[in-house]
Chain A
Amino acid sequence: MKREYSIIGKPTGNVDGAAKTTGEAKYCFDMSLPNQLYGKHLRSPYAHARILSIDTSEAEKLQGVKAIITGKDVPGGKWGLWRRFRELCDQIALADDKVRFIGEPVACVAATTKDIAEQAIELINVEYEPLPGVFDPLEAIKDDAPLVHDDFENNINATRHIEWGNVDEGFAQADYTREDKFTCFPQAVASMEVHNSLASYDKGSKRLTVWSSTQSPYYLQLGLADALKMREGDIRVIKPHVGGGFGGKNSTMPDSTSAALLSMKTGRPVKIVFNREEEFISTEHRTGMHVALKIGLKKDGKIVARECKVITDGGAYTGLGATALYLSGIFQTFPYKIPNYRYDAFRTYTNKVWATSVRGFGATPTVYCAESQLDRAAKDLGIDPLQIRKMNVMEPGYEAPGQYKVDSCGIMPCIEKMEKRIKEKWPKVEENEGIGFSAFAYMSGGIFNWIDTPYAYSGARVQVNIDGTVDLFTQASDIGQGHNTVSVMICAEELGIGMEDIRLHPADTATTPVDLGAWGSRETLMNGNAIKMAAGQIKQKLVDLARAKLGENIAYDLVAKDKRIYLELRPERGFSYYDIVRDAIKLNDGEPLIGTGHYTPHNKGMISPAYGMGIMAIKAKVDKEIGHIEPQGVLIVHDCGQEINPLGARGQVEGSVHMGLGYCLCEDMPNDNGMLLNPSMNDYKIVRQRDMPQIELMDVPTYEAEGPFGAKEAAEATIAPTAPALANAVFAATGAEFDSNVLKPEKVLKAIRAAEAKKAQKK
């Protein structure tokens, strides 16, 4: 059935565009309150040390210092996102007995000016007893390694085993097997807006309000409740506009906890803004890992078995790293049918800032490894890279036993479209050029409830006013991905009204129904469903009233469209939406016209209700003397179900590819005994526009029955294939094989030479 929509699927500008282009949009960064104090953290210079004493007396004497807090002032216990597993709730507001990474906060000052706060932390005297640290996961698991957390033997924070089929039998059937080892380095989040929070404690009601650059107000509310030993309901979290999150703003961080504690102590509002260096050294990043991968194939290219062993570099705390561990085992199998699969992984604690969810989390590192290996196998077997993928991709209804089921699935048509387009676009390659491919798939929100909440995964409330204007309330978090626009589009489509009729009230825990926030591409499907359901309740009331007024037989369908409610087959018979709204409220004694909606997935397996997927190709040129890789163009075919906003989806794809190129080429976090060596935007290299290729995006529309209007994940998936597609392009051009990401020129040069030596040896 062809679906005709008025708003869905039409390229639509950002609903926050005017505010964001005029400087009127307020980020937490821009906010201040009268009588506000400024907070500043004193941070540990040691990667691992016992705190023997903290003397704040000199700092307290400084004029303008209003309060100083240390670990002893934190009333609550530890917290974390894995609340179902209390032992993994390991985060603390301020280091108590010991520090576990360089940059960990040990004290926080509130002062009348930023300068005084800066001067005050210099006057705090901390006595440390340095302890030996561990910085690599392979060292961390050794029996004699120092323990980051005393209760975790061998520094093992979490383990995962995934298995289906019979792997040993699978490999026994294989005509060809190969094993590769990789190291995937971490990637910084580097959102443009640093972490910052403004807290205000109300002395009368004993309630707390926190504005924060969070990507999940609800998680922050829970984290603060745990840290401060308060009731969730007494903490109000408001997310203003947020300058990027990418997964790095899910955890409750010291900007929030310290601002809250200091506000409670001083009775004045307290603002804490991290500087860029603090952002680099003390906030979360993408997980680094060691990966060992074995694949078995038949001669014709059919995959018969895969085995994967992963050990991740978790850093000092858990964050969402334990989730990343699980997903790393899942998404590397996508979008392929792997009949026999085994994954064993563990996450280690190390004395570094911790790793968590970052854009495409659980997919980006292991997909890099798996897709690189697949191309090497294809080359050895003499099979074309697209052909080997066609041999193995999933079809609709594919199920991985006990793990996931894939309903809408357009991967094969995506590859077919790619085959056709690539012949037109890049009919041949010159010397030192190559085209590389990678397939991809990603979730539309996760079906995991480690946060342990009885609330629905997403909620929304729609209130229709007497004049037909709509107030839409949802805690869904727009952090730049454009969900505010998607929310309004979905609500408007469902009610058959215009986007201008809707005022959105996003992300305030005191006024909006709970939503688990922006991670794992969950908002479009999950929150979209909640909004559609809430708007649908209102629509039903309006349609029922219209039907009664028309006196029609119940078999006749009415629709809400173009600001009217009318008989689908006789459009002239109907009413204005505005008239029906007024009547509906009047006839019900003025009862407010409110619809509520929620969404929680059921019977969709362990991972996600639906999966976006597709294939990417990158053409690249390699300077063989210098080792420089120049990405020349990117071609993507994406199945994201029904696109809600094609303009926004394209924006997300562009951004994902940009971040993926950085992951592949230049974004690196080298450390020396736990000290990050490049904690600035000058030294942490991000791809700039002259190095950014053009991207051509094509769509293979499917209909995802579980999603609002057939929608599912869009564009987060496209970060993961970027690095392997580019590395595979270099492989195609030069034969160079890489055992890690971050393809800085020196590494490229070495790999090219190794490939040339190997070739010469063969001859």
Chain B
Amino acid sequence: MKTIVNGFEYFSPKTLEEALKMLSQYDSEEKEFKVIAGGQSLNLMMKQGILMPECLVSIKGLSELDYLNYDAKEGLKIGALTTHRAIETSDEIQKNFKVLVEMEHNVSSTETRNYGTLAGNFCHGDPGGDPAPVLVALNAIIKMASVKGERTVPAEEFTLDYYETVLGHDELLTEIQIPVIPPNTGVYYTKYSQILGDFALASAAVSITLDDKKEKCTDVRIVLGSVGSTAMRAKKAEEILKGKKITDELLVQAGQAASEESDPTDSVEASEEYKRELVGVLVKRVGKEALERAKKA
């Protein structure tokens, strides 16, 4: 069976401070290093020889980053080392951010979710990853730290390209912040793959906010996954719904717009045309469910 051929040194700093210092030092020494949390994607890339680091900095032991804090005003704060499974099984999240639980059910396997972290998955920058569309739809904020200090960016701006993010080489993603879902808002996410739990051919997350009479749409975010180099907002599709009373007909139009905005590529599983068409159907269906949720919210 395949193993990692090239050796590396393995470090596991005990505190965040120590970890950041280590990153800063290796960065200045121009060492080939990688940060590993759950490593569910990284380990595979090392096995395939895509990545061959000289040393590995394991942050999995930083218990100070393993937390889930919910506050009715501040929203949800997810520490970088919180596993997918912790999110999936949290009652608080089920109650307040059900869409995250639904998303997690279809992320790979329980075994992956038990060890892999949400933040690690997001940092991996895979356009087929599940968290990105949902985090963008939920308006999440990403907090990062280095020895130089902390900074934040909106989730939407975090991923730049295939497997490329704004995270500096000496930086760690430390926390994902998800604001409280506004009143009269419904959020839903679905991906489609022929086999459940598999990587998506296309996915869509939609957040719809209605006015107090629950008639017109005051705010909407439509985010597509797996159909571009990063998770992407379908802004033209959003424009179609914004300010209007959302009807089935309008959702079909939004789906068509999203379909045009999307930028999928041919793969072994399906052609670009099919994926575009799929985007249209998903946006329509996910939008409809988000609308129902907004009405009940």
Contact = CB atoms under 8 A, between A and B. Distances in A.
A-B pairs, top 10 by smallest CB distance, nearest first, are A746-B274, A690-B196, A625-B281, A275-B2, A746-B270, A677-B268, A275-B1, A685-B195, A666-B194, A678-B268
Nearest to A670: B268
B105 to A, nearest CB: 10
A685 B5 contact: no
Contacts of A666: 194-195
A677 B268 CA distance: 7
B278 interface: yes
A626 B196 contact: no
Contacts of B268: 668, 670, 677-678, 683
Given A626-B278, A685-B195, A744-B269, 14 more contacts: A115-B3, A273-B1, A276-B1, A277-B2, A625-B281, A668-B268, A683-B268, A685-B198, A690-B196, A691-B195, A745-B194, A745-B201, A745-B278, A749-B274
Contacts of A386: none
B154 interface: no
Given A690-B196, A691-B195, A626 B281 contact: yes
A683 B44 CA distance: 14
A670 B271 CA distance: 14
A131 interface: no
9 contacts: A118-B5, A276-B2, A625-B281, A626-B192, A685-B194, A685-B195, A685-B198, A744-B270, A749-B274
Interface in A387-441: none
B192 A628 contact: yes
B228 interface: no
Contacts of B271: 746
Nearest to A746: B274
**Is the interface on chain A under 10, 10 to 19, 20 to 34, or 35 or more residues?**
20 to 34
- In this complex, the member of B201, B268, B277 whose beta carbon has the largest number of chain A beta carbons within 10 angstroms is B268
B112 to A, nearest CB: 12
A632 interface: no
A626 B197 CA distance: 17
Contacts of B196: 688, 690-691
Contacts of A745: 192, 194, 201, 270, 274, 278
Contacts of A691: 195-196
Contacts of A342: none
Contacts of B201: 745
A194 interface: yes
A119 B4 CA distance: 12
Nearest to A668: B268
Contacts of A114: 3
A688 B271 CA distance: 23
Interface of A: 114-115, 118-119, 194, 273, 275-277, 625-626, 628, 665-666, 668, 670, 677-678, 682-683, 685-688, 690-691, 744-746, 749
Interface size class, chain B: 20 to 34
Contacts of A685: 194-195, 198, 269
A746 B275 CA distance: 9
A194 B1 contact: yes
A746 B268 CA distance: 11
A115 B274 contact: no
Contacts of A683: 268
A119 B49 CA distance: 13
Contacts of B194: 628, 665-666, 685, 744-745
Interface string B186-210: 0000001011111101000000000
B286 to A, nearest CB: 13
A677 B269 CA distance: 10
Nearest to B196: A690
A447 to B, nearest CB: 39
Contacts of B199: 682
Contacts of A194: 1
A529 B208 CA distance: 69
Contacts of B2: 275-277
Nearest to B7: A115
Contacts of A670: 268
Contacts of B269: 685, 744
A685 B199 CA distance: 11
Interface string B117-148: 00000000000000000000000000000000
Interface in B212-266: none
Contacts of A626: 192, 278, 281
A318 to B, nearest CB: 29
Contact of B5 (A115, A668, A749): A115
A46 to B, nearest CB: 21
A412 B194 CA distance: 36
Interface string B26-51: 00000000000000000000000000
B270 A688 contact: no
A47 to B, nearest CB: 18
Interface string B269-290: 1110010011001000000000
Contacts of B274: 745-746, 749
B265 to A, nearest CB: 14
Given A677-B268, A683-B268, A749-B274, A119 B5 contact: yes
Contacts of B281: 625-626
Nearest to B109: A688
B195 A687 contact: yes
Nearest to A672: B268
B251 to A, nearest CB: 13
Contacts of A688: 195-197
Contacts of B270: 744-746
Contacts of A275: 1-2
A759 B278 CA distance: 24
Nearest to A279: B1
Most buried by A among B2, B3, B269, B271: B269
Contacts of B198: 685
A687 B195 CA distance: 6
Contacts of B5: 115, 118-119
A744 B198 CA distance: 14
Contacts of B1: 194, 273, 275-276
Nearest to B3: A114
A628 B193 CA distance: 9
A726 to B, nearest CB: 13
A621 to B, nearest CB: 14
Contacts of A625: 281
A579 B5 CA distance: 63
- Of B195, B196, B277, most buried by chain A (CB within 10 Å of CB) is B195
